[in-house]
Amino acid sequence: MYVCNCNGLRKRDVASAIEAGAVRPRDIFVRNQCTAQCAKCVCEMREMIQESRQAFALAAE
Ligand code: FES
């Protein structure tokens, strides 16, 4: 499933960037060697970052 159609970024590409330390959509683009074009995917990227943070916080409790 694609998160970013402009750059062909799949969910696993975004998840991998987040696991590698991306904390904002811009970091995800940089880690995948591309840039935002239409930016329609930014909301979904932010949601994935937020979900990752929440999962990390729960694991730390
Ligand atoms: S869908 Fe990601 S920049 Fe357009």
pLDDT at residue 5 in the model: 98
pTM of the entire predicted model: 0.92
Q: What is the pLDDT of residue 8?
A: 98
Q: Which CATH number fits domain 2-60: 2.40.50, 1.10.10, 1.20.120, 3.40.50?
A: 1.10.10
The rounded Å distance from CA 5 to ligand 1 centre is: 5
CA 60, distance to chain mean position in Å, is 21
Q: What parts of the chain have a pLDDT lower than 50?
A: none
Distance (angstroms) between ligand 1 centre and the Cα of 51 equals 20
Name the residue with tokens 């799949």: 10
- CA distance linking residue 49 with residue 57, whole number of Å: 12
Residue 50 sits at the vertex; the CA angle it makes with 33 and 19, to the nearest 5 degrees, is 45
Residue 54 sits at the vertex; the CA angle it makes with 10 and 51, to the nearest 5 degrees, is 20
Token duo for residue 49: 């970052």
Task: For ligand 1, say whether the CB of 14 is within 6 Å of any of its atoms.
Answer: no
